[in-house]
């Protein structure tokens, strides 16, 4: 396939799904075998990588490139290669690593395919729950093949809002200040530990909204498309696009209310 050629979203979605299921099986087997250990740390001593993160990314990359050798790759655990096809895969082989390390639920495999400057398809697999969230641009979002839609019409004070926290102490202090201001204004907060699953929770109505500062492209790519295709608005603050600086996701009416609440708190200030 050469850059600029029409994108076969159905084929990309099928390949993303098979790659996610392959990685999910590897991760489940590793978790059940026990003995998960920290192989390395990244931004802080608590920002951990396990051997399973790396094994899952290797398996996903090999699976994708065996089928589409001219594609590009961007993966959390180090894959970063261009490809002449015009399609780039954005991979978080294990989102929610700390949950996985502690044998807690709330970890996922997130795989998206980008082309023509947009995410075209995305899948988020929750292996423990046996749930597959998927979306193809313009074709809606599904959970295990059943169409899903975010919940509209929820007032701010009734909203169940997800969020997450960074790995550096200075950033967590700022995030705690923001949380102190948000918590009294909403129904409640949930901290699930996987951004991909947070975004999918908004897509299917398990959360009414979600916000976080510091997401990487691989945390965001698939879940953002799934949430958008489920009718949610996904953006940054004050009209900015979603980015590492900030991500906010909710049905459009609640998105506006959360944006209005959050902007004065400057949750995207550096720390």
Max Cα distance, the chain (Å): 52
* Residue 219 interacts with ligand LIP (CB under 6 A): yes or no: yes
Nearer to ligand LIP, 191 or 269 (CB): 191
* Residue 175 interacts with ligand LIP (CB under 6 A): yes or no: no
- C-alpha pair distances (Å), 160 with each of 182, 233, 260: 11, 16, 17
Nearer to ligand LIP, 85 or 108 (CB): 108
Minimum distance, C-beta of residue 7 to ligand LIP, in the bound complex (Å): 27
Asked if 126 contacts 92 with a C-beta cutoff of 8 angstroms, the reply is no
What is the enclosing helix (H) or strand (E) of 39? strand 38-41
Which residue number has the CB closest to ligand LIP?
A: 164
Enumerate residues 57-96 that contact ligand LIP by CB under 6 A. Answer: 76, 92, 95-96
Nearer to ligand LIP, 51 or 165 (CB): 165
Asked if 120 contacts 24 with a C-beta cutoff of 8 angstroms, the reply is no
- The residues facing 161 across adjacent strands are 189, 209
Which residues, in sequence order, are CB contacts of 269 under 8 Å at separation 6+? 174
The SS3 assignment for 118 reads: strand
Minimum distance, C-beta of residue 160 to ligand LIP, in the bound complex (Å): 16
Nearer to ligand LIP, 7 or 94 (CB): 94
Q: Which two tokens stand for residue 69?
A: 């050798």
- Report the alpha-carbon distance of residue 57 to residue 219 in Å, rounded: 14
* Residue 97 interacts with ligand LIP (CB under 6 A): yes or no: yes
Q: Which two tokens stand for residue 202?
A: 């908004």
Q: Which of 75, 86, 164, 236 binds ligand LIP (CB under 6 A)?
A: 164
Q: Which two tokens stand for residue 113?
A: 């395919």
Minimum distance, C-beta of residue 97 to ligand LIP, in the bound complex (Å): 4
Nearer to ligand LIP, 124 or 257 (CB): 124
Q: Which of 11, 83, 165, 265 binds ligand LIP (CB under 6 A)?
A: 165
Nearer to ligand LIP, 115 or 197 (CB): 197
* Residue 221 interacts with ligand LIP (CB under 6 A): yes or no: no
Q: Which two tokens stand for residue 15?
A: 């390949």
Asked if 208 contacts 227 with a C-beta cutoff of 8 angstroms, the reply is no
Nearer to ligand LIP, 71 or 212 (CB): 212
Which residues, in sequence order, are CB contacts of 21 under 8 Å at separation 6+? 125, 132
* Residue 233 interacts with ligand LIP (CB under 6 A): yes or no: no
Minimum distance, C-beta of residue 84 to ligand LIP, in the bound complex (Å): 29
- Report the alpha-carbon distance of residue 268 to residue 271 in Å, rounded: 9
Minimum distance, C-beta of residue 27 to ligand LIP, in the bound complex (Å): 12
Binding site for ligand LIP (CB under 6 A): 76, 92, 95-97, 164-165, 193-195, 212, 219
């Amino acid at each position: 396939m050469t850059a600029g050629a029409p994108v076969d979203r159905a084929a990309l979605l099928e390949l993303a799904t098979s790659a996610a299921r392959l990685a999910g099986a590897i991760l489940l087997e590793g978790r059940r075998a026990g003995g998960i250990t920290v192989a390395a740390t990244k931004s802080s001593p608590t920002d951990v990588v396990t051997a399973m993160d790396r094994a899952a990314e290797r398996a996903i990359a090999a699976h994708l490139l065996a089928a589409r050798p001219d594609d590009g790759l961007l993966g959390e655990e180090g894959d970063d290669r261009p490809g002449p096809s015009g399609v780039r895969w954005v991979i978080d082989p294990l989102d929610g690593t700390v949950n996985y390390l502690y044998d807690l639920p709330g970890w996922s495999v997130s795989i998206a395919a980008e082309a023509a400057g947009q995410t075209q398809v995305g899948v988020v697999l929750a292996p423990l729950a046996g749930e597959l969230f998927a979306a193809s641009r313009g074709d809606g979002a599904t959970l295990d093949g059943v169409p899903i839609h975010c919940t509209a019409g929820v007032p701010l004070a009734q909203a169940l809002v997800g969020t997450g926290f960074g790995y550096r102490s200075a950033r967590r202090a700022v995030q705690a200040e923001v949380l102190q201001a948000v918590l009294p204004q909403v129904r409640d907060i949930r901290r699930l530990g996987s951004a991909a699953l947070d975004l999918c929770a908004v897509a299917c109505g398990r959360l009414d909204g979600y916000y976080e500062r510091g997401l990487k492209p691989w945390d965001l790519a698939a879940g953002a498309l799934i949430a958008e295709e489920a009718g949610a608005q996904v953006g940054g603050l004050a009209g900015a696009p979603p980015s590492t600086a900030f991500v906010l996701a909710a049905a459009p009416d609640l998105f506006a209310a959360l944006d209005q609440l959050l902007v004065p708190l400057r949750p995207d200030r550096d720390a």
